[in-house]
Structure 1
Amino acid sequence: MSGDNLYSLTLTRDNANIGILAIQEYLVSLQSERSRKTMVYCLNIAMTAINTTIEEFNWVGLKDSLVAAIVTRLTQDYAPASVNIILVALKSVARRLWAHDVISTRDYELIKKVKGARGSRVHKGRALNDGELNELFEELDSYDSSKAIRDRAIISCLLGCGLRRAEVAELQFDNVHLNEDDPYLTVIGKGNKERKCYIPDETVERLKEWFFIRKDSPGACFSLVDKHDNVLEKKLTPYRIYRITQDWANKINMKRWTPHDLRRTYASNLLGMGVDINTVKNMMGHASITTTQIYDRRGDDSMRKAVHLMNRKAG
């Protein structure tokens, strides 16, 4: 079931629909459309674990024993972090059911106490090393087309400011302040939170090159460039920014990386230079230091170096 389908249902307070009403209320409380889609997906997975659907399940009968059984079954096929997000969704719906007096206070308190899956997995993604970054920008600098100049600026913003690809897509020309003593971007991130991102000198130069071609007109900072190298007004989508990074990686046969890997590289570089983790958290727009720690890929590099040392010892 999609989020749109959930919103379109006409509801009454009978047993068949009260669960959908609770889910709707929970989804409306979330701050972004992406979060809403994620949680609908999570609830669908939970229902699949017990061979039913969101629409068919009798939400009045939601009990702690059933929630615990769902967690146990999902742990066989999903990473602990994924299972625990699904558990958050179920507990949040249970809260709405309790608010409507559909489930008792006792049942709700028991559901809240259901424990999540234990364990962890190696986090996906990586940080690019200096050699890869040098090779990438050497390739980018070998072109002087409007498209290449735009792409250099985009990749430089991802790497030099730690932006998410959606933030790059939504960045407006008026949010870029290059003429200040300390140039910065005004970025609207997750949860509609605004933050200031200071821009390193090299990224400033990349942006100036792009703006010389783009001109100083309002609208999206980064827009489409047609096959004749003409700059258009239509803004780029997050997916298009992903494709841009993949296209340049393919040009030099580089090991696969994503826009978010440049964000990981940004965090790892800052931490590697001794910037305290709370400052890095703020620079990245994270709500929690725990999230920032996930982006730190310095340990991967240290482990690789350790193995190389062992290889020399073993030889």
Structure 2
Amino acid sequence: MVLTSFISYLSLEKNYSQHTVSAYEKDIKTFAHFALQEYNVENIDAVDYTLIRSWIVSLVNASISNRSINRKVASLKAYYKFLLKIGQIEANPLIKHRALKTSKKVEVPFSEEEMENVLQQIEFKNDFEGVRDKLIIELLYTTGIRRAELINLKLVHVDIETNVLKVLGKRNKERLLPILGSTKKLFKEYFKYRKNIQEISDKDYVFLLKTGNKIYETFVYRIINHYFSQVSSKVKKSPHILRHTFATHLLNKGADLNSVKELLGHSSLASTQVYTHNSIAELKKVHLSSHPRSRE
């Protein structure tokens, strides 16, 4: 197996995040373990599709969702594509594989009222943690940045004089985002509190715990879940729903799809179009209430 070379390729040439690279590595090792245990195959580099199909069947029998199975198979497909690229194999055994059918996942964004209730009605503590939490919610909603982008945001990326935020997205793709007046005000307030932290381990990063370490994924999720549970009965309350809300509210107010695509940092319009179903629902409502024929 040339797994080590593949992992280096993902990290150095493809610029994938460590989280993504780890997921690829885990999926491939899981398949390798299956091949060894079930078929006594020690090297998965030259297997045929029959063995891979057996693995897929075993995953289905283990009640793993089709969506998760497709992700695992995609990791394996990328591995064989790499082997083909370096001349290690002559054909990708997954070249004709078709992904398992999955149901479309519709995520419900927060309403404008829910956003207003969180940012205006909830009393955040007037201290470092309270101001930080409010700024995190405000920033996710007003810029649409991803959770990982928020966590890795550095002080040098925030220019509150020109109201611009520099974000390093997937594959280190850089984009500039505007900072709204309300967000700028919170940034200034937060930085005042941040200066009073005695020992800062991760001094380059914007968002910190009161211990001086930078925030982490589960922590951000807990903040969103905690505050939105007070105003919303929606089942899913996560940082990604705020990104979804950002895009939906912009589209509902007439923003064009290309502009939203750039703000979100998507590489193609297809990725942005998943956010349009709610704006279409809004358009239907306007159409129904405004068109003369709707009363017929």
Q: CA deviation at 1:54?
A: 12
The whole-number CA distance in structure 1 between the counterparts of 2:233 and 2:20 is 32
Corresponding residue for residue 292 of structure 2: none
Residue aligning to 1:159:
141
Length, aligned pairs only = 275
Range with bigger deviation, 237-246 or 53-62: 53-62
Superposition deviation, residue 249 in structure 1:
2.8
Letter in 2 for 1:219: D
Q: Does 1:207 align with 2:199?
A: no
Q: Aligned runs of 1:235-274 on 2, under 5 Å? A: 235-252=214-231, 254-255=233-234, 256-274=236-254
Shift of 1:252: 4.7
Q: Which SS does the other structure have where 2:212 is aligned?
A: strand
CA distance in 2, matches of 1:159, 1:205: 15
Q: Normalization by structure 1: what TM-score? A: 0.73
- Code of the residue aligned with 1:177 in structure 2: it is D
2:68 equivalent to 1:82:
yes
| Compared CA separation, residues 304 and 224, structure 1 to 2 (3 A) | farther
Extract unaligned runs of 5+ from structure 1.
1-18, 226-231, 310-315
| Percent of aligned positions that are identical | 24
Superposed CA offset, 1:132-164 (max 9, x none): 112212344454233211111111001101111
Quick check: 198-207 or 141-150, which moved more?
141-150
Q: 222, 232, 256: which one pairs with 1:276?
A: 256
Aligned partner of 1:28 in structure 2 is: 8
Instruction: State the shift of 1:192 in Å.
Output: 1.4
Gaps of 5+ in 2: 11-15, 198-202, 290-296
The alpha carbon displacement at 1:96 in A equals 4.2
Q: Which amino acid aligns with 1:121?
A: S
1:65 is matched with 50
After superposition, the Cα gap between the structure-2 partners of 1:54 and 1:96, relative to the gap in structure 1 and judged at 3 Å, is farther
Shift of 1:115: 2.2
Amino acid at match of 1:26: F
C-alpha displacement at 1:286, in angstroms? 1.6
The answer to whether structure 1 residue 294 and structure 2 residue 274 are counterparts is yes
Query: Match of 2:37, SS?
Result: coil
Deviation at residue 269 of structure 1 after TM alignment: 1.4
Deviation per residue, 1:171-199 (Å, 9 max, x gap): 1222111111xx11011122112111112
Structure 2 residue 103 is the aligned partner of structure 1 residue 129: no
1:296 Cα offset (Å):
4.0
2: distance between equivalents of 1:55 and 1:188?
44
Distance 2:204 2:39 in 1: 41
Q: Assess, with a 3 A threshold, how the Cα gap between structure 1 residues 175 and 61 changes in structure 2: closer, same or farther.
A: closer
Which secondary structure state, in structure 2, belongs to the residue aligned with residue 153 of structure 1? helix
Distance 1:276 1:70 in 2: 44
Aligned residue identity for 2:146? R
- In structure 1, what is the Cα distance between the partners aligned to 2:41 and 2:57? 21
Moved more, 237-246 or 48-57: 48-57
The match for 2:13 is none
